[in-house]
Amino acid sequence: MTPVDFIGMGFFLAVFFGYQRIAQLVGRGKNVNALMHQTRRVWMQRLMERPDRIVDAALTGHTVNSMSFFSSATILVVAGLLGVLGQAEAAQKVLGGWVFVAHSSATIFQLKLIGLIAIFVYGFFRFTWALRQYNYCCALIGAAPLAKNDYPHRLELADQMAIVYTSALTAFGGGIRCYYFGLAWIAWLVDPLAFIAAILGILIVLLRRQVYSDSHMAIRRFVELNPPEELTRDARD
C-alpha cells in the first residue's frame, strides 16, 4: 500500500459516506432529492383528496418491484465476487499480465476484493431496508383517512407519509450509488491514481444530475408552480 493508495481510500470513504451532505451543500438545499421530497408531500396531500387510491397503489408497487430486482441482483454480484475471491491468485496473475495494471501483492489484491464485496453487501442492506420501508408506505396508504372523512390532521398525516417515502427512496438511492462507486473501486485494481480519478469522475456525474441537469430544472420549476400546502399553527392544534 503506497501513500497514494491511502489517499485514495480516504477520499473514497469521504465521498461515499458524505455524498448526501455534499449534494446538499452544492445544491444549497435545492437538489433533486430535496425537491422530490416536496413533490411527494404534494402527492400525499392529493392522495388524501382522492376517493380511491388505485393509482397511488400502482405507483408504489412499481417501485417495490424495482427494489426487489436490485436486491436480488446485488446478491448475485456478491456471490460472483466471492467466487473470484476464492480464485484470487489466478485472477491477480491475469490482471498482473496487463501492461496498464500497477503491480501489487496477492494479499493486497484480496483485500481490495474484500472491500468491493463489502460495498455490495452494504448496498444489499440499503435495498432491503428500502423495501421494508416501502411496505410501511403501503400500510400508510391503506390506513389514510377517506376523502369524505372530515379528519382534522390531513396535512400532518400527508407530511408523515412523505417522510417515510423519502426515507425509503433515500435508502434505495444509497444502494444504487454502491454500483457507481463499485466501478470506482474496480479502478483501484488497475492503479491508485485511476481510483482517485474514477471517484472524482463519478462524483461529478452524480452532482451534475442532482443540481445541474435538465430534470433538476424541470422539477424545481414544478415545485415552484405546485408547492405543497403548509401546516398552520391552527392546523397543528
Only one residue has cell 451543500, namely 25
Q: Average pLDDT of 60-84?
A: 83
Contact between residue 196 and residue 185 where contact means Cβ atoms under 8 Å apart: no
Coil/strand/helix, residue 183: helix
What does the alpha-carbon distance between residue 114 and residue 88 come to, in Å, rounded to a whole number? 11
Would you state the pLDDT for residue 237? 42
Residues 165 and 167: their CA atoms lie apart, in Å, by 5
Domain presence at residue 232: no
Q: Copy the grid coordinates of residue 90.
A: 489466478
CA atoms within 13 Å, Cβ hemisphere of 152: 6
Question: Residue 193 belongs to what domain range?
Answer: 3-10+29-225
Query: How much is the pLDDT for 101?
Result: 64
**Are the beta carbons of 12 and 182 closer than 8 angstroms?**
no
Q: Is the pLDDT of residue 149 over 70?
A: no
Rounded to an integer, the average pLDDT of 5-32 is 88
Q: Is residue 236 part of a domain?
A: no
- Residue 194 pLDDT > 90: no
Q: Does 237 fall in a domain?
A: no
- Angle in degrees, CA 167, 21, 123, rounded to 5: 55
Query: How many structural domains comprise the chain?
Result: 1
- What pLDDT is stored for residue 201 in this prediction? 93
The answer to whether residue 115 scores a pLDDT higher than 80 is yes
**What percent of the chain clears pLDDT 70, i.e. is strictly above it?**
89
Amino acid identity at 133: Q
Angle at 102 between CA 101 and CA 107, to 5 degrees: 110
Q: For residue 128, is it within any domain?
A: yes
Apex 121 CA angle, 195 and 199, nearest 5: 20
Residue 19 lies in a domain: no
In 79-216, beta strands by DSSP E: none
Least confident of 103-107, 115-119, 209-213: 103-107
Measured distance CA(3)–CA(205) in Å, rounded: 26
Q: Assess whether pLDDT exceeds 80 at residue 68.
A: yes
Whether residue 211 is contained in a domain is answered as yes
pLDDT-above-90 percentage for the chain = 25
In a domain, 42, yes or no: yes
User: Rounded CA gap, 35 and 53, in Å?
Assistant: 23
pTM of the model: 0.83
Question: What is the per-residue pLDDT for 71?
Answer: 86
pLDDT at 167: 92
Residue 23 belongs to a domain: no
